[in-house]
């Protein structure tokens, strides 16, 4: 499973943050790793420096031989947005693959 992380120009995609995001995705979606070719994570700061619940994480998983699965989550920071999107992705993939297909 390849993991691709993209940030907009308002989010500093430093090495530590990217490693944390990668770890979150691997930990959350690891049990699906043989069935996924790639997971893309897109992070954007919706309203720049105005604060609030403005970090959006869009996560797209590409199952082998199937249509992509896409979820998004809004939160106050990158970590919470990523974790929320990963949790939604687990539920979406459970539905897509069927709970017995774990």
pLDDT tens per residue across all 102 residues of the chain: 999 999 998 888 899 999 999 999 999 999 999 999 999 999 999 887 676 678 999 999 999 999 999 999 999 999 999 999 999 999 999 999 986 444
Count CA atoms within 13 Å of residue 63 on its CB side: 18
Report the CATH fold assignment for 2-101: Double Stranded RNA Binding Domain (3.30.160)
Give 43: exposed, middle or buried? Use CB within 10 Å, 0-12, 13-18, 19+.
buried
Q: 69-77 long-range CB contacts below 8 Å, 24 or more apart?
A: 69/93, 69/96, 74/46, 76/52
What pTM, to 2 d.p., does this model score?
Answer: 0.90
pLDDT value of position 99:
62
Q: Any idea where the domains of the chain sit in the sequence?
A: 2-101
In sequence order, the 6+-apart residues with CB closer than 8 A to the CB of 4 are 38, 39, 40, 41
Q: Residue 5 forms beta bridges with which residues?
A: 41
């Amino acid at each position: 499973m390849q993991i691709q992380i993209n940030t907009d120009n308002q989010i500093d995609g430093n090495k530590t943050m990217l490693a944390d995001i990668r770890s979150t995705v691997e930990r959350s979606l690891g049990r699906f790793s043989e069935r996924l070719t790639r997971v893309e994570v897109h992070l954007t700061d919706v309203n720049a420096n105005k604060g609030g619940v403005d970090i959006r994480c869009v996560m797209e998983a590409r199952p082998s031989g199937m249509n992509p699965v896409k979820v998004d989550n809004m939160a106050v920071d990158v970590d919470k947005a990523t974790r929320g999107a990963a949790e939604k992705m687990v539920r979406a993939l459970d539905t897509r693959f069927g709970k017995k297909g774990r």
